[in-house]
Amino acid sequence: MIKVVNLKKQFGDNVVLKDISVTVTPGEAISVIGPSGSGKSTFLRCINGLEEITDGHIYVDELDIADPKVNIDTLRERVGMVFQSFNLFPHLSVTDNITLAPITLNKMSKADANKKAIELLKKVGLEDKAEVFPSSLSGGQKQRAGIARALAPRPHVMLADEPTSALDPATTKSVLACLKDINEKFNVTIVIVTHEMSVIRRLCNRVALLDKGKLLEVADVRDGQIHASTPIGQLLINED
Ligand code: ADP
Ligand code: MG
């Protein structure tokens, strides 16, 4: 589903991702953790084509995103993204935020897109907020609206960059439950950057440990326990 092969990314002289190879299989929920500046956000941004990669390959299904012939819109349909700061369009209602991509990318009719939006809002528990503007939503509601928007083009993969970092613990739980549903019931593969070990324990089956742009190891999560084998991996996990 996502195959990263010898990925290198540099900004000027600064090599921020070094020879990263990892394969994410369909239906997985995998977390990416590491200290600030270790390259986590850049890694996600490379996967959905927001950053041009310097070397290596990233395959999403059969699409090689480094191939200049690959249509970026096709990639965006496959890979949804949610952000720490929600990034909803403030001048659009919740429904219009959700229908924007299906109408412009998938060329769906407005009526069909609206119908889909209502289904998505039900999935994330926001059906009563369809017509309001983002400013009237709480943080947790904004993030659930952001998740509904990311799901609208029916992606196979959802990337989430610290989606609960701006939320209090109770709200984090509601967003986490929403992500878990999406992964388990709707079979969307999730790659999530987070600092919260509770999120990893409850949601993820593996965790990739990044440090200074290098992938130290990919640890298994079994029965709510993270099994890092390298000393530095254990250190990263115990930091929380
Ligand atoms: P993390 O998300 O783990 O905190 P980032 O991926 O945001 O780390 O950043 C990794 C490194 O890449 C940092 O040194 C950062 O300064 C650098 N970086 C990120 N984006 C850019 C950019 N657009 N231009 C130049 N350097 C960048
Ligand atoms: Mg980041």
- Tokens linked to 134: 């983002």
- Residue with the nearest Cα to atom 12 of ligand 1? 16
The pLDDT, as a whole number, for residue 76 is: 85
Summarised one tens digit per residue, pLDDT across range 72-112 is 888 888 999 999 999 999 999 999 999 999 998 878 999 99
The pLDDT, as a whole number, for residue 71 is: 87
| CA of 38, closest atom in ligand 1 | 3
Using the mean position of ligand 2's atoms as its centre, give its distance from the Cα of residue 110 in Å.
35
Q: Is 155 in the pocket of ligand 1 (CB under 6 A)?
A: no
Summarised one tens digit per residue, pLDDT across range 179-227 is 999 999 889 999 999 999 999 999 999 999 999 999 999 999 998 888 8
The pLDDT, as a whole number, for residue 233 is: 79
- Tokens linked to 17: 């991702």
pTM for the predicted model, two decimal places: 0.94
Helices (H), the chain: 40-47, 72-78, 94-104, 110-123, 139-151, 169-184, 197-203, 231-238
Q: What is the rounded distance in angstroms from the CA atom of residue 40 to the CA atom of residue 17?
A: 9
- Residue with the nearest Cα to atom 24 of ligand 1? 11
Best of 7, 13, 15, 16 for a ligand 1 pocket test (most atoms within 8 Å of beta carbon): 16
What percent of the chain is predicted at pLDDT more than 70? 99
The pLDDT, as a whole number, for residue 136 is: 97
With CA atoms as reference, report the closest residue to 11 among 39, 33, 35: 39
Q: 10 Å Cβ neighbour count for 184?
A: 12
**Residue 234 confidence (pLDDT) above 90:** no
Q: Is 208 in the pocket of ligand 1 (CB under 6 A)?
A: no
Q: Is 36 in the pocket of ligand 1 (CB under 6 A)?
A: yes
The pLDDT, as a whole number, for residue 240 is: 52
Using the mean position of ligand 2's atoms as its centre, give its distance from the Cα of residue 193 in Å.
8
What percent of the chain is predicted at pLDDT more than 90? 81
